[in-house]
Amino acid sequence: MDRKPRSRQKGRPSTHISLASARNLHHACRYALPYGGNQAKRGCPTANVNADKPLNLCVTIQWEMTETGEDNFAALRNQRFCRWLRTRSKQFGVTIEPTYVYAREGRSHVHWLVHVPDELIAEFMDLVPRWITSLEQRGKGSRKRAENHDPAPKGTVLIEPVRNSVAARKYLLKGINPQHAVRLGIRNPTPQGLLFGPRTGVSRNLSRKARKKAGYRARKAVWQRNNGRIIHSPVIAQVWKQASSP
């Protein structure tokens, strides 16, 4: 398949999720309502306060399988998903705030945990592949509704229910710097390649400001327990170094 040359990448380059970004995503997921089966083998205490919505769907988009190979996640999220949710909210006469977290991995794909009301799940699953195509065809011919676009190639999008919100959170954080992995309970961090721009993000209603307003209190990090003894992880750091080397 012939593709146009990729445009110059914008944003700061990074090779892993920073500690600040990882903490924000970690606590955003904990602030959302727990979802799925047993949250952890030893149990996972719920947060002192939760938002009113769970992250019930996991969306994975493989950008290299699209026609252009471009990462259009920001536009898909803001110009398609959020607008669609506002429209459906007005039609239902209720307020449905966009609720999500995401983690981008290299330039190839993104994992997106999102809340979609049960009555809209089937429509959402049909629209996401069409949103991808509609974004790639912007400015070509007459404007058309997303429903009239052909879906992206088979295998580009995988949408499945979240079976365990704790496991899903840790999976999104696997690209964390291994020097900080133990702080958030990530046992097997793996390099996710060079990336320009933000690697992770959360919706406004799960942000630091929203959590602070709700009175959310973070649990002590793993490395702060055991009488404050700091736990170093040289083994994990060595694994990362070996995996990152050419």
Closest to 132 measured CA to CA, from 65, 56, 200, 197: 65
Whole-angstrom distance, CA of residue 89 vs CA of residue 176: 36
Whole-angstrom distance, CA of residue 179 vs CA of residue 161: 31
Structure-token match 């803001």, residue found: 78
Write out the two tokens for 162.
Answer: 């979240």
Cβ proximity of 6 and 70 under 8 Å: yes
* Domain extent listing, the chain: 13-244
Of 61 and 42, the structure prediction assigns the larger pLDDT to: 61
Radius of gyration of the chain (CA): 19
Write out pLDDT tens, residues 24-50.
999 999 999 988 766 555 545 678 889
| DSSP bridge partners of 114 | 57, 100
Question: Using CA atoms in the order 11, 113, 89, 129, what is the torsion angle rounded to 10 degrees?
Answer: 80
Write out pLDDT tens, residues 1-26.
445 445 556 778 888 999 999 999 99
Write out the two tokens for 5.
Answer: 């040359």
The beta-strand segments (E) located in the chain are: 13-14, 57-62, 100-105, 109-114, 157-161, 195-196, 200-202
pTM above 0.95, yes or no: no
Write out pLDDT tens, residues 64-118.
999 888 999 999 999 999 999 999 998 988 889 999 999 999 778 999 999 999 9
Whole-angstrom distance, CA of residue 112 vs CA of residue 61: 8
